[in-house]
Amino acid sequence: MNSSSRKKIIEALKDQQAIFGDDLFEEKISAVKTELKQEKAKIESKPVKTSYVKEPIKNSTELFTDVKSEWEKSESLDNLNNLICNCTKCVLHKGRNKFVFGSGNPNADVLVIGEGPGAEEDKQGLPFVGRAGQLLTDILKAIKFSREEVYIANIVKCRPPDNRTPLPEEMDTCIPYLKKQIELIKPKLILCLGLTAAKGLLKKKDSLTSLRGQVFDYEGIKTMVTFHPAALLRNPNWKKDCWIDVQKFRKLYDEMQ
Ligand code: SF4
Residue 162 is classified by DSSP as: G
Average pLDDT over residues 165-185: 98
CB contact set of 114 (below 8 Å; sequence gap of 6+)? 127, 128, 152, 153, 154, 155, 193, 194, 197, 228
Cβ proximity of 208 and 225 under 8 Å: yes
What integer pLDDT is reported at residue 8 of this predicted model?
73
The string of pLDDT tens digits covering residues 176-228 is 999 999 999 999 999 999 999 999 999 998 999 999 999 999 999 999 999 99
For 85-97, what is each residue's pLDDT tens digit? 999 999 999 999 9
Average pLDDT over residues 116-123: 97
| pLDDT recorded at residue 97 | 98
Contact 111, 150 (CB under 8 A): yes
Q: Is the pLDDT of residue 76 over 50?
A: yes
Give the pocket of ligand 1 (CB within 6 Å): 87-90, 92-93, 156-158, 170, 173-174
Closest CA to ligand 1's atom 6: 158
- Report the pLDDT averaged over residues 235-251: 98
Distances (CA, A) of 114 to 15, 67, 71, 184, 194: 14, 30, 22, 18, 7
**What integer pLDDT is reported at residue 169 of this predicted model?**
97
**168 contact partners, CB below 8 Å, separation of at least 6:** none
pLDDT confidence of residue 31: 60
Q: What percentage of the chain reaches a pLDDT higher than 90? A: 73
Residue 203: which region, alpha, beta or left (left: phi > 0; alpha: psi -120 to 50)? left
Ligand 1: residue of 51, 80, 93 to mutate (most ligand atoms within 8 A of CB) is 93
Which atom of ligand 1 is the closest one to the Cα of 156? 1
> What is the residue-averaged pLDDT of the chain?
88
pLDDT at 188: 98
Residue to mutate (ligand 1; options 158, 165, 172, 196; most atoms within 8 A of CB)? 158
pLDDT for residue 12: 72
Give residue limits of the domains in the chain: 3-256
Q: Whose CA is nearest to atom 3 of ligand 1?
A: 174
Give the closest residue to 181 by CA, choosing from 252, 114, 92. 114
Q: What percent of the chain has pLDDT over 70?
A: 78
The residue among 231 and 46 whose pLDDT is bigger is 231
Summarize the confidence of residues 1-7 as an average pLDDT. 70
Q: What is the pLDDT of residue 28?
A: 53
Query: Could you give the residue ranges of the DSSP H alpha helices within 45-74?
Result: 60-63
Instruction: Report the pLDDT value the prediction gives residue 53, as an integer from 0 to 100.
Output: 54
Q: Return the C-alpha torsion angle 40, 132, 202, 148, nearest 10.
A: 120
Q: Produce one character per residue of 174-189: b if its CB has 16 or more CB atoms within 10 Å, e if not.
A: bbebbebbbebbebeb
Rounded to two decimals, the pTM is 0.82
Q: Which of 173, 178, 179 has the most ligand 1 atoms within 8 A of CB, as the residue to mutate?
A: 173
Dist. CA 174 → ligand 1 center (Å)? 5
Mutate to test the pocket of ligand 1, among 69, 85, 157, 159 (most ligand atoms within 8 A of CB): 157
Q: Residue 30 has what pLDDT?
A: 61
Tens of pLDDT, residues 25-61: 555 556 656 666 676 666 566 554 444 455 555 555 5
The residue whose CA has the least distance to atom 4 of ligand 1 is 90
Q: Using alpha carbons, select from 172, 165, 215 the residue that is nearest to residue 195.
A: 165
- In the CATH scheme, what is the code of domain 3-256? 3.40.470.10
**Separation of 176 CA from ligand 1 center, angstroms?**
10
Picking from 28, 20, 10, the residue whose alpha carbon sits closest to that of residue 208 is 20
Q: From atom 2 of ligand 1, which residue's Cα is the shortest distance away?
A: 174
The Cα 158–Cα 144 span in angstroms is 30
